[in-house]
Structure 1
Amino acid sequence: MKLLIHGRNLELTPALREYTQSKLERAIQHFEDMVKEADVHLSVARNPSVPQQTAEVTVFANGTVIRAQERSENLYASIDLVASKLCRQLRRYKERHSDHHHSPGHRASSTPTTEAVIDEAPIDGSLLDGKEAHLPSPGVRRKYFAMPPMSVEQARYQLDLIDHDFYLFREQESGQLQVIYRRNHGGYGVIQARD
């Protein structure tokens, strides 16, 4: 498994790096056949009056993104919590995709790896010719994702895996973009455009 560890507002000591690696390897050991890459971000809040230390892990399992994040007053405790949470999420993912959910003789189709999807065609010429560099406005971060069509139930499952409050997806039947979110009083809601 490829493990990338990044630190923000802290020095990544060899002891911290080794602790993080051992905890994540232990959390992922039963899922090594699925997990090929893990990206870890460790950070410490700049405000000394708020002792908040965060461990965030993003795992790429068979083309699916699984994310876990935990905060506490101690970075080592945050790493322990995020490793436990990640293990639970991987177990849930594996149970959902194991063969006992399908009729005999049928297997779930496997998601292609990133390398299989990337177009290997060479790039001719410069990508920068005739273009001017500009930075996005402060506070705006853009993310780009492939959005294969899916049902609301599949989107709910993805929302649980990424550990966010909402998930943007392309609805299977209509092809429209919709947002599924966790409601404050339990359950889920879906936001969709009115025709």
Structure 2
Amino acid sequence: MKLLIHGRNLELTPALRDYTQSKLERAVQHYNDMVKEADVHLSVARNPRVPQQTAEVTVFANGTVIRAQERSENLYASIDLVANKLCRQLRRFKERHSDHHHSHGHRASETPPTDAVTSEAPIDGSLLDGKEAQLPEPGVRRKYFAMPPMRMEEARHQLDLIDHDFYLFRDAESGELQVIYRRNHGGYGVIQARD
């Protein structure tokens, strides 16, 4: 497994790197066939009144992104918590994709590995020609990702895997963009455009 560890507002000591690596390797040891890469962000809040130390892990498992984040007053405790959470999420992911959840004669479709969907074709020309570098507006962070059509149930499952409050997806039936979110009082809600 390829492991990238980043630190913000802290010095990444060899001891901290080793501890993080050992905890994550232990968390994914039963899922090594699925997990190819993990990206870890460790951070400490700048405000001394808020003793908040965060560990965030993003794992790329067979083309699916699984994310976990935990905060506590101690960075080592945050690493322990996020490793346990990641292990639970990987177990759920593997159980969902195993055959025993499907009726006899039916199988879950396999997710192609990342290298099977990326193109190795060379890029012709420059991507920068005619473009000028500009800084984005403050406070705006853009994310780009593939958005294959999916059913509502698949979107709900993805929401559980990424550990966010909402998930934007393209509905398989209508082709429209929709947002599924966790409701404060339990359950899920969907936001969709009205004609």
- The residue identity in structure 1 corresponding to 2:53 is Q
Superposition deviation, residue 38 in structure 1: 0.5
Superposition deviation, residue 4 in structure 1: 0.6
Superposition deviation, residue 103 in structure 1: 3.6
Number of positions where the alignment pairs a residue of Structure 1 with one of Structure 2:
195
Distance 1:118 1:23 in 2: 30
- The residue identity in structure 2 corresponding to 1:188 is Y
> What's 2:109 paired with?
109
Distance 1:115 1:8 in 2: 30
> What's 2:185 paired with?
185
> What's 1:128 paired with?
128
- Per-residue displacement from partner, 1:87-111 (whole Å, max 9, x unpaired)? 0000011111101123445433221
Distance 1:3 1:51 in 2: 27
SS at match of 1:128: coil
> What's 1:119 paired with?
119
Percent of aligned positions that are identical: 89
Distance 1:128 1:93 in 2: 39
| Superposed counterparts of 1:136-155, under 5 Å | 136-155=136-155
Matched, 1:96 2:96: yes
- The residue identity in structure 2 corresponding to 1:15 is A
- The residue identity in structure 2 corresponding to 1:147 is M
- The residue identity in structure 2 corresponding to 1:72 is S
Distance 1:53 1:28 in 2: 23
- Per-residue displacement from partner, 1:110-159 (whole Å, max 9, x unpaired)? 21222221122211222211111111111100001111111111111100
Which stretches in structure 1 are left out of the alignment for 5+ residues? none
SS at match of 1:159: helix
Distance 1:156 1:109 in 2: 17
Which stretches in structure 2 are left out of the alignment for 5+ residues? none
Distance 1:73 1:98 in 2: 37
Distance 1:180 1:193 in 2: 13
SS at match of 2:40: strand
- The residue identity in structure 2 corresponding to 1:29 is Q
